[in-house]
């Protein structure tokens, strides 16, 4: 598929068209203004971060997209409530879904945008970054009945609110577990992060259905605690829209490490 470049940049225009490789799909959240939405993010062909928010992902129907998939869309600048330079308000009816990036191309494509820490990214004015943890520990916590019920009410209200557009839109079922990573960055600073990655929660549901909750959690601990770190892992981190100093873990990526070739003597 031919690649198109953005027709407008964030600094020079209030609208445009661009092509982005999606690498982040955060957990759906319910808000008063937009209902059930998903924060997505990806990288342009020239290595620039783009945040797509709010996206009513489950209402996209024929143009839903996956991680590692190219999409194109028209966008306008977000309102005054989101001043992050990477943010785009996507015109959802213009989304075109493209090809998947082959696994062998992913690490080399993303290598230039990896930073050593969120502090490094913040010093460059970034609100999105990829960081490779030098050490990490995966863990989970069972949500309380009150937390699950609160999430269930929110999802149900959002589904009911949009029922006139999507009569078959079923309310999401909250994940009964919250997933966390304790990790250390390249500066040696320790972090504790709640995982807001939708695909991590989806991994639990798939494995729970196949092997039961206890075995699913044990299997995820092996995947995210042993296999990913051994093979190569990166965290997609993004700042909170209202608290720029707060970084959230919005994506967990299995990403090979690119070894620098030896220079001839």
pLDDT at 226 over 50: yes
Mean pLDDT score, 162-170 = 62
pLDDT at 174 (0 to 100)? 93
pLDDT at 263 (0 to 100)? 44
pLDDT at 11 over 90: no
How far is residue 157's CA from residue 30's CA, in Å, rounded to a whole number?
A: 9
pLDDT at 218 (0 to 100)? 98
Q: What percent of the chain is modeled with pLDDT above 70? A: 90
Mean pLDDT score, 188-210 = 96
> For residue 68, with 0-12 CB atoms within 10 Å meaning exposed, 13-18 middle and 19 or more buried, which class applies?
middle
- Residue 221: which domain range? 131-254
Cα of 149 vs its chain's centroid, Å: 25
Mean pLDDT score, 55-60 = 89
pLDDT at 192 (0 to 100)? 97
- Residue 136 lies inside a defined structural domain of this protein: yes
DSSP assignment string, 182-222: EEE-TTS-EEEEEB-BHHHHHHHHHHHHHH-HHHHHHHHHH
Average pLDDT value over all residues in the chain:
89
- Residue 9 lies inside a defined structural domain of this protein: no
pLDDT at 166 (0 to 100)? 60
pLDDT at 249 (0 to 100)? 98
pLDDT at 165 (0 to 100)? 56
How far is residue 15's CA from residue 10's CA, in Å, rounded to a whole number?
A: 8
How far is residue 136's CA from residue 202's CA, in Å, rounded to a whole number?
A: 21
pLDDT at 20 (0 to 100)? 98
- Residue 141 lies inside a defined structural domain of this protein: yes
How far is residue 144's CA from residue 135's CA, in Å, rounded to a whole number?
A: 29
Q: Which region, left, alpha or beta, applies to residue 257 given φ > 0 means left and ψ of -120 to 50 means alpha?
A: beta
pLDDT at 262 (0 to 100)? 44
- Residue 185 lies inside a defined structural domain of this protein: yes
Which residue, chain included where needed, has tokens 């090979």?
256
pLDDT at 104 (0 to 100)? 95
pLDDT at 3 over 60: no
- Residue 15 lies inside a defined structural domain of this protein: no
pLDDT at 162 (0 to 100)? 59
Predicted confidence band of residue 47 (pLDDT cuts 50, 70, 90): very high
CA within 13 Å, CB half, 94: 13
Q: Classify strands 128-131 and 114-115 as parallel, antiparallel or unpaired.
A: parallel
Count CB neighbours of 92 within 10 A: 16
Tens-place pLDDT, residues 29-45: 887 777 889 999 999 99
Count CB neighbours of 157 within 10 A: 15
Question: Could you tell me which residues come within 8 angstroms of residue 116 by beta carbon, excluding any fewer than 6 positions away?
Answer: 131, 185, 186, 187
- Residue 122 lies inside a defined structural domain of this protein: no
- Residue 28 lies inside a defined structural domain of this protein: no
pLDDT at 9 over 90: no
User: pTM of the prediction?
Assistant: 0.89
Mean pLDDT score, 226-232 = 97
- Residue 90 lies inside a defined structural domain of this protein: no
Domain count, the chain: 1
Tens-place pLDDT, residues 80-115: 778 899 999 999 999 999 999 999 999 999 999 999
pLDDT at 6 over 60: no
pLDDT at 230 over 70: yes
How far is residue 234's CA from residue 236's CA, in Å, rounded to a whole number?
A: 7
Predicted confidence band of residue 62 (pLDDT cuts 50, 70, 90): confident
pLDDT at 105 (0 to 100)? 96
């Amino acid at each position: 598929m031919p690649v198109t470049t953005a027709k407008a940049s964030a600094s020079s225009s209030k609208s445009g068209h661009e092509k982005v490789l999606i690498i982040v799909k955060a957990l759906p959240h319910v808000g008063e203004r937009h209902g059930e939405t998903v924060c997505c993010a990806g990288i342009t062909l020239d290595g620039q971060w783009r945040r797509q928010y709010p996206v009513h992902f489950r209402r996209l129907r024929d143009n839903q997209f996956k991680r590692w998939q190219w999409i194109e869309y028209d966008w306008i600048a977000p309102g005054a409530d989101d001043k992050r330079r990477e943010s785009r308000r996507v015109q959802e009816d213009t989304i075109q879904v493209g090809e998947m990036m082959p696994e062998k191309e992913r690490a080399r494509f993303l290598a230039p945008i990896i930073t050593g820490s969120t502090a490094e990214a913040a010093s460059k004015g970034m609100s999105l970054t990829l960081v490779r943890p030098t050490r990490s520990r995966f863990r989970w916590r069972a949500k309380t009945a009150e937390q699950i019920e609160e999430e269930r009410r929110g999802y149900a209200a959002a589904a009911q609110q949009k029922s006139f557009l999507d009569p078959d839109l079923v309310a999401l079922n909250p994940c009964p577990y919250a997933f966390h990573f304790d990790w250390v960055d390249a500066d040696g600073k320790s972090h504790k992060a709640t995982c807001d990655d939708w695909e991590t929660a989806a991994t639990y549901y798939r494995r729970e259905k196949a092997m039961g909750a206890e075995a699913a959690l044990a299997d995820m601990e092996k995947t995210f605690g042993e296999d990913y770190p051994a093979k190569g892992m990166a965290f997609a981190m993004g700042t909170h829209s209202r608290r720029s100093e707060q970084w959230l873990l919005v994506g967990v990526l299995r990403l090979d490490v690119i070894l620098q070739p030896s220079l001839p003597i």
